[in-house]
Every structure is written in C-alpha cells, then in structure tokens.
Amino acid sequence: MVADTTLRRLRGLLGRRELSPGDGIVLRPGWSIHTAFMFFPIDVAFVDADQVVVKVVQNLKPFRASVCRGARDVVELAAGEAERRGLKPGDRLAWAARGVNGGPPAPAAGASSRAPSPTRPIRVLLASRDEEFLRLAQFLLTRNGFAVESTKKIVNAVELIGRERLDVVVLDASDSMSETARTAAAIEALHPQVGVLLVCDDERPRPATGLDMMEKWEALETLADDIRGSYASATT
C-alpha cells in the first residue's frame, strides 16, 4: 500500500489491529514517523529516492517516534520482518502487490516475468513529466523483466511506438488531460496492436476517454500485471 497524500500519510496504519508478515505500507514522501495510537509495534525502513535503505528501526512500539534526515520514503513493516529478511542499510527495496480479489501475489520486483515470446520481453514506454514516477516505475518494470523506454513528452509516444517496436504505453495524464487523451486516441488509430494504460494523480478528474484511468502511485503496485494484461488484450 502506498500513502502518497497528506491524509493517507496521517492515517497510515491507524485503526488496524495487526500487520501480517510480508505486508507493509510506504509513506511517500517521508523522513519521520510516529506510532501514536497504534495497537502494535512495527519495523521501519527509511529509504532514499532510489529505494535504498538508509536506516532500519526494529520493533518500534506504540507512542514512539523515529527520524532519518535525508530519507525520501518510509516503509512500515510487521515487527520482526526486518530481522527475518535480514534488512540492513544499503539494501534496495522492492515489493509486490497481492493479486486482485484474493488471488495469488504478483511477482516481486526482481522476479523474472513471462515474455511475450521466447525471443524478447514486452517493450514498454513510460510517458510522464514526473521524474520520480519515471524513475521508480522504470526500476520496478526493469526488475520484472520488461524492456523499458521513457519520455517526458507525451506527444512523442506515437512516434516512439513505430521506432522502438513498443508493445504497451503508459501515459501520465496528470499535467494535461486533453493532450494525453489525444495521444491515446492517436495510438489507438495508428497502432491498434499497442496496449495503452492511463495513470493520473489522485486529485485530478478522470476524462471520458473510454480507457481505464488508474491513480499512478497506487498503480505501481500492480503495474507489471496490468501491462501484461494490456499486452495480452491488444494481441488477441
């Protein structure tokens, strides 16, 4: 789970009675936390912009606080999880989302994924002006076995599809809904074999484009599976 708004960060794990081993929450951005009014202790990993662990705090009890200057995100885990996984400063974190409707977990970032053919991986284009989103999405997808390209100019996506033989395009509509909608329509018209996924900041309204729109930070949790699904739909 990703908490990337003020309300979500304030809520965090409040109200929950436990956190299962293997589950966690990412507070983004963040470099300090408190456990006031929580019902159980947690392990905490402070990470930098590249998801490299800067500091680990084990068994942080309720009504305590912890700070790590220079951290970019805070990852909260079940107590004992850091020791069980041997988590330490210098490790790079990745995570996997649980399957939809209680299905099996998605492959963890770093696990190999199915390729569309025996000869090459799925080719993905990330089109976003958000450098942090590009960096993290590219890291997660590359670790899952995708071939990833990126551009900060949404309109370049149409040209890049033909040049790079792309299979799926992820368009970030946060800055310009109309530009993204026009680009998505052009891709559908000129390259119907290419899958298109739209993501957007949670605060922005969803346009009536006929395409599903996902909140982009939550989308990172299932992006690998969503891309595989989009590829399969576009090629069948």
Give the pLDDT score at 203. Answer: 57
Give the pLDDT score at 106. Answer: 35
Give the pLDDT score at 211. Answer: 56
Chain region(s) in the chain for CATH 3.40.50.2300: 123-234
Q: From first to last of its 236 residues, what are the pLDDT tens digits of the chain?
A: 777 777 677 777 877 788 877 788 888 888 888 888 888 999 999 999 888 999 999 999 998 999 998 899 999 999 999 998 889 999 887 665 443 333 333 333 333 333 344 457 899 999 999 988 888 888 888 888 899 999 999 988 988 987 888 999 999 998 888 888 889 888 888 888 999 999 998 655 554 445 568 888 888 888 888 898 888 887 66
Give the pLDDT score at 125. Answer: 94
Chain region(s) in the chain for CATH 2.60.120.1140: 2-93
Looking at the domain 2-93, which fold is it?
A: Jelly Rolls (2.60.120)
Contact 132/88 with Cβ under 8 angstroms? Answer: no
Among 27, 23, 34, which residue's Cα sits nearest to residue 6? 27
CATH for 123-234 is 3.40.50.2300
Amino acid identity of 122?
I
Give the number of other CB atoms < 10 A from CB of residue 163.
9
Give the pLDDT score at 3. Answer: 74
Residues in CB range of 79: below 8 A, 6 or more apart: 40, 41, 42, 43, 58, 59, 60
Give the pLDDT score at 97. Answer: 46
Give the pLDDT score at 54. Answer: 94
Give the pLDDT score at 202. Answer: 67
Alpha-carbon distance of 50 to 196, in angstroms, equals: 26
Alpha-carbon distance of 169 to 195, in angstroms, equals: 6
Among 53, 63, 49, which residue's Cα sits nearest to residue 24? 53
Residues in CB range of 43: below 8 A, 6 or more apart: 56, 57, 58, 59, 60, 76, 77, 78, 79, 80, 81, 82, 83, 87
